[in-house]
């Protein structure tokens, strides 16, 4: 029987890459997608497309955080733009306890289907401002799962895998290109427009990543724009 | 300024008691109520009444666990009845990762309102079968909050209080009676009928608790049944 893993899938670069990474590692992947009042629903649609493309079953969990507390949940708050990419303070897009909430649901899903692994694409290098992207957090959470879950008390703790935690965006993209991740389906922009805005933190970070990887972002190739003039 | 606490409120005995306990400890209490596909909605209505009675603001978070995994979420599964109360195996009413999910939302709420404490009525004595009711789990979770939350990284970690973790049901009820908890508003029965069924694990445990405390359960007093024959 194939080993099973739950993969947190957001529709962005990192989680798409971790999905293909887990599959290459021999896991049967089950995607978990959240609908929690993001500013736009485009990333949810993209997450679904990525799950389907990778032939992974998926589940969507809906919840709301009625207390808000993040620019990412409030359509009226202006999002940070054109700042230096490397963060030293916690950005306004921090959603209180988001990754803890996400991973708690993942643990629940994993227990219900008998999966012994959870994968998350979190990384601490380019976005060190988020406390729930730091390695120490994942170590503490691992222990929480050992102590607080049925599987843990039976000696079969669910392992939390954050394989990109110390990788740069460029390294993640290089890994993903080797794994043939369909990056054209991924969405990074904080805005939900027809095309990425190119200005928000997330767009800038993505551009920097593709530049570091020495690759072209397939999501930016607009139909008809790439001319075959040379052949 | 009064210190603030988020209290997980289910409508049951333990959480009602912890609500009044936190208030006595000098906290301004903010109740967090979950609507997650319980078998019946009666306990949610009771939780709201308890919040209102104690003059605490409250928030309701709705979510579903589409993978089920618990008798408590499935109306077609028969619930355990008339068993020995002290559990040695994990009961079928265990909801995968439920308390981790609840406490993650509580941490989010606490961060958003600037509360530095979260109270939960969990106890490990009478229901040792639930892994997420054990003291070791709360210690691990405390560390997760220190490492994975904004407040934690700022040196103001949210403290998880589970003051009844080593108390028996009888001790909890004694504490609550001294705090004048309106136990008539609480609901323990797994069924959502007009009156408690008196047969499910939860009803048996409640009866045992009131017996240990040497008190009468006010929720069982039916109008007109207690006659004033002696005065």
Contact between A120 and A161 (Cβ < 8 Å): yes
Is B229 within a domain?
no
Tell me which residue in A64, A112, A140 faces B68 most closely, judged by beta carbons: A112
Tell me which residue in A69, A94, A104 faces B104 most closely, judged by beta carbons: A104
Is B107 within a domain?
yes
Is B228 within a domain?
no
Interface test with A, best of B33, B37, B97 (most A CBs within 10 A): B97
Listing from the earlier edge strand, what are the strands of the sheet with B159-161? B58-62, B28-35, B4-8, B117-119, B159-161
Domain of B131 in residue numbering reads as: 4-217
Contact between A122 and A133 (Cβ < 8 Å): yes
Residue B203: helix, strand or coil by DSSP? helix
Is B231 within a domain?
no
Is A220 within a domain?
no
pLDDT tens digits, A147-197: 988 887 777 889 999 999 999 999 999 999 999 999 999 999 988 888 999
CA distance linking residue B134 with residue A85, whole number of Å? 42
Is B59 within a domain?
yes
Interface test with A, best of B108, B135, B136, B139 (most A CBs within 10 A): B108
CA distance linking residue B137 with residue B139, whole number of Å? 5
pLDDT tens digits, B104-126: 999 999 999 999 999 999 987 76
Judging contacts by C-beta atoms under 8 Å, the chain B residues touching residue A90 are: 150, 153
CA distance linking residue B50 with residue B53, whole number of Å? 5
Which residue(s) pair with A7 in the sheet?
Answer: A31, A119
Q: What are phi and psi of A133, to 5 degrees?
A: -115, 10
DSSP E strands: which ranges in chain A? 4-8, 28-35, 58-62, 117-119, 159-161
Judging contacts by C-beta atoms under 8 Å, the chain A residues touching residue B65 are: 61, 105, 108-109, 112
A68-72, A122-126, A200-204, A221-225: segment of lowest average pLDDT: A221-225
ipTM, two decimals, is 0.85
Cβ neighbours of A86 (radius 10 Å): 11
Judging contacts by C-beta atoms under 8 Å, the chain B residues touching residue A109 are: 65, 67, 96
- Is B111–A69 a contact, with Cβ atoms under 8 angstroms apart? yes
Shortest CA distance to A33 belongs to which of A19, A20, A189, B40?
A: A19
Judging contacts by C-beta atoms under 8 Å, the chain B residues touching residue A140 are: 140, 143-144, 146-148
pLDDT the model gives residue A79 = 55
Is A229 within a domain?
no
**Measured between CA atoms, how close is B63 to chain A, in angstroms?**
5
pLDDT tens digits, B45-64: 999 999 999 999 999 999 98
Q: Is the dihedral of CA B20, B24, B25, B29 positive or negative?
A: positive
Average pLDDT over residues A31-39: 88
Please state, rounded to an integer, the average pLDDT across all residues of chain A. 85
**Measured between CA atoms, how close is A8 to chain B, in angstroms?**
15
Is B68 within a domain?
yes
CA distance linking residue A206 with residue A212, whole number of Å? 10
Judging contacts by C-beta atoms under 8 Å, the chain B residues touching residue A111 are: 69, 96-97
Judging contacts by C-beta atoms under 8 Å, the chain A residues touching residue B57 are: none
Give the gyration radius of chain A's Cα atoms.
Answer: 18
What's the total number of domains in chain B?
Answer: 1
Helices within A72-148 (DSSP H only):
98-113, 135-148
Q: Give the CATH number, domain containing residue B92.
A: 3.40.50.620
């Amino acid at each position: 029987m194939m080993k099973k893993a739950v993969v947190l899938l957001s529709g962005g670069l990192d989680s798409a890459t971790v999905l293909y990474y887990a599959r290459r590692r021999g896991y049967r992947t089950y995607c978990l997608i959240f609908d929690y009042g993001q500013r736009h629903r485009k990333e949810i649609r993209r997450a679904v497309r990525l799950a389907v493309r990778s032939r992974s079953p998926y589940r969507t969990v809906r919840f709301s955080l009625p207390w808000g507390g993040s620019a990412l949940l409030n359509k009226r708050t202006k999002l940070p733009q054109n700042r230096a990419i490397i963060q030293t303070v916690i950005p306004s897009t921090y959603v209180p306890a988001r990754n803890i909430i996400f991973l708690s649901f993942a643990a629940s899903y994993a227990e219900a289907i008998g999966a012994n692994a959870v994968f998350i694409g979190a990384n601490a290098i380019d976005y060190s401002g988020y406390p729930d992207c730091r390695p120490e957090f994942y170590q503490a959470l691992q222990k929480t799962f050992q102590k607080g879950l049925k599987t843990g008390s039976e000696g079969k703790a669910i392992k939390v895998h954050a394989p990109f935690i110390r990788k740069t965006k460029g390294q993640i993209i290089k890994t993903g290109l080797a794994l043939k991740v369909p990056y054209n389906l991924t969405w990074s922009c904080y805005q939900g427009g027809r095309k990425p805005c190119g200005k928000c933190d997330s767009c800038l970070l993505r551009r920097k990543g593709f530049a570091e990887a020495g690759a072209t972002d397939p999501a930016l190739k607009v139909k008809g724009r790439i001319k075959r003039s040379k052949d």
